Structures are given as C-alpha cells and as structure tokens.
Amino acid sequence: MSKKRIAILGSTGSIGTQALEVIEANPDVFSVEVLTAQNNADLLIEQAVKFAPKVVVIGNALLADKVTAALASFPITVYSGNSALVSVVESDSIDIVLTAMVGYAGLLPTIHAIKAGKNIALANKETLVVAGELITNLARENNVSIYPVDSEHSAIYQCLVGEEKNPVEKIILTASGGPFRGKDRAFLAAVTKQQALKHPNWSMGAKITIDSATLMNKGLEVIEAKWLFDLSASQIDVIVHPQSIIHSMVQFEDGSIKAQMGLPDMKLPIQYALHYPYRLKSSFPRFDFTAYPSLTFEKPDLDTFRNLAIAYEALERGGNAACTVNAANEIAVEAFLQDRIGFLEISDVIIACIAKIAYIENPAYLDYVETNEATRRFALEMIQVKV
C-alpha cells in the first residue's frame, strides 16, 4: 500500500502538531505534502525541516521572507498569503487534507479542496457550522468523504460503521462541562481568562478551550453533527460526562445504544480520520476500567451556560443564523482573551448580533461572506462601546 499523502492546514496549532506526531509514528503509512500556518513562522520552519513537505504556506505575508530564507537550502516551495491556501490544496500530490485551522478561515480552503476531489479530515468544525448545507452538497457532488476529527464526531462515526441500514433514533454528544461545571452566573461574572483556559481533561488551543468553558464548543458540535450525520436538532442530545471517557453515543430505533470509549487523547481520532477505514496500532495509554469505577452523567445547565441554547436556536432557525453565531462568538472570545469583556458578556455579544444581522433563509456562498463580515463589524463596534 502506498503512503497516504497529507496536507495539514494549520500545522502549528494543537491538532496540527498532534497530527504530525501521528505521522512521525507511522512513517511507512503517511507522508507530509503541505504544511501551513498563519503566524507561527518559527515552528513552521522547524516542522518543514523535519518532515520535508513539498510546499509550505505562511499566511502572514510579512513573515514570507523569514520562512523563505530559512528553507532556501531545502527542496521546499514557500508561498505566502491566505490566497495561497486555496490553491495548494488543489495539488494532485495530495490524498487527504486535514483542516486544522481555527475558525471561519478554514471555510474557503475546504471548499477548494472538496472541489479538487480531496477527501477531508475535518478538525475545523466552523466550516460546517457556517455553511453546512453548501459543504455537504459539494462533497456529494465531488464524491468526497468528510472524516470528522473532533473526538465526539469521530465517536459517532465509529459507532455508525456497519450500521448503514439501521436508522438512527438520536445521537448523544458528551461534554466534559469544562472548568466551570456546577458554577452559577454570579461566579462566572468574575472569572478570568486564566481560569477559563484550565480545561480539566483536554489540551487544546485557547479559542476552543474558551468555547468549551462557555459550552459554545458543544453548541458548534451540535450544528456540525446535523450536517455530518443528516440529523434534525431533535435527534441530537448533549449530556455532561465529566470524566470524558465515553466520547459520544448513538441510539438506534430498537433502543440499543453504541458508545465509543477511551482515554482523552486527540491523536486517536486524528489517526482514525487520516487512515480510515483502517485502524493503526498505537502506543497510546490504554483505558483501565478499574481506574474509573464511576462514570457520571448530568444534564447541561442551559440557563447558566446560554451559548449551548443559542446554538440550538440557530440550528432550528437555519439559513445564515449559525454563520452569525459563529462570527460573533469568534470576535467575543478574542475580546475576552484580550481582557476587553467579561466571561458572561460573550453570550451578550452573540445575542445582540443575532438581533441585528439580517436573516437570510437560503444563503449562497457570498451571503455567508457578507454575514460573517457584517457580524464581525457589529460585534467589534459593540465591544468598543463596552470598553
């Protein structure tokens, strides 16, 4: 079997670096064709020297000379600027594209990769949140498979293998509850970004860690699940499972439930997506049932953590509503990380944007672009007034 040639969009982030660990552990199975980063030029250079891709892209054009000079003695082509991302994914030398960029920025490169017939290992959930109908239609038209990398969606995907003829009654996405599980709004009003960035179970980037603390990450996953698995909002449940051992479950029409379990380690779903349908032998730590004599479950607190309810409402509404929610959340989270707004104000910004931005029932691609831009402008104006 020939090596699977991988392009990693966002190779210097949490998912990208862990994907490279998977590739390094399986040199006879994978090769690196493309690496991209936005600003972390030093790590991109280090990765390029180690993994010898054919192409690297540094999104920040101001860093192009630095990357080009550092890699001048290597047979590596260097491109810069975000426009380069949408062209490199179309290369004939790529078998699968891992979209590990953060946020809305992953949408356009993913569209181009799908149109070029590349299978997608999807870690950028915002692509489906913003434009799920557009993306899934394109995937069908181009006979492209989308393999989820999120641990929860990977769990659902694994549970559905071999069940193609059995309708799903519902899926159950598990949530750790984040660092503030059980806290009330009075407590949350005073939390700091340092507290919010301390996730109890997972090691992730700053944006997704804050999303986990607000439960928006779970809300985005609910919307993503709708498009990945062709479900209605009523078929997608969320349950808080603090131990993060059951990664998610599928309930079938006979009442039977299948769950995918394991220790929290993102390298497992990354590896599964990159090499589907085959499982690779790994040295990951094994789960010991005796070390977890009690697995617990509870309902999410939608009154305290309003973002999950907001996401469900956007899913029910459809159109460009989820695009608005995503853009508002990205701006609000960044403002919180910059100490410009409080933790609870993240939800306030999102709710205000939903009320302000024009609703479009059947959006085309350019409608998503305009919705994203208009939402960001309004959210920034709101935050500026607050500050």
pLDDT at 206 over 90: no
Q: What is the DSSP letter of 73?
A: T
Q: What percent of the chain has pLDDT over 90?
A: 91
pLDDT at 358 over 60: yes
- Nearest 10 degrees: CA dihedral of 193, 15, 69, 107? -90
Nearest partner of 97 among 67, 127, 52, 75, judged by Cα: 127
pLDDT at 69 over 60: yes
pLDDT in tens, 209-262: 999 999 999 999 999 999 999 999 999 999 999 999 999 999 999 999 999 999
Tokens describing residue 188: 């949350």
Mean pLDDT of the chain: 95
pTM for the full model? 0.93
Residue 82's pLDDT is: 85
Tokens describing residue 311: 């996401």
Strand residues in 243-290 grouped as ranges (E): 246-252, 257-261
pLDDT in tens, 140-192: 999 999 999 999 999 999 999 999 999 999 999 999 998 999 999 999 999 99
Tokens describing residue 195: 């507290």
Residue 33: alpha-carbon gap to chain centroid: 22
pLDDT in tens, 222-235: 999 999 999 999 99
pLDDT at 201 over 60: yes
Residue 244 phi, psi (nearest 5): 55, 40
- Nearest 10 degrees: CA dihedral of 178, 13, 327, 330? 50
Tokens describing residue 238: 């969320």
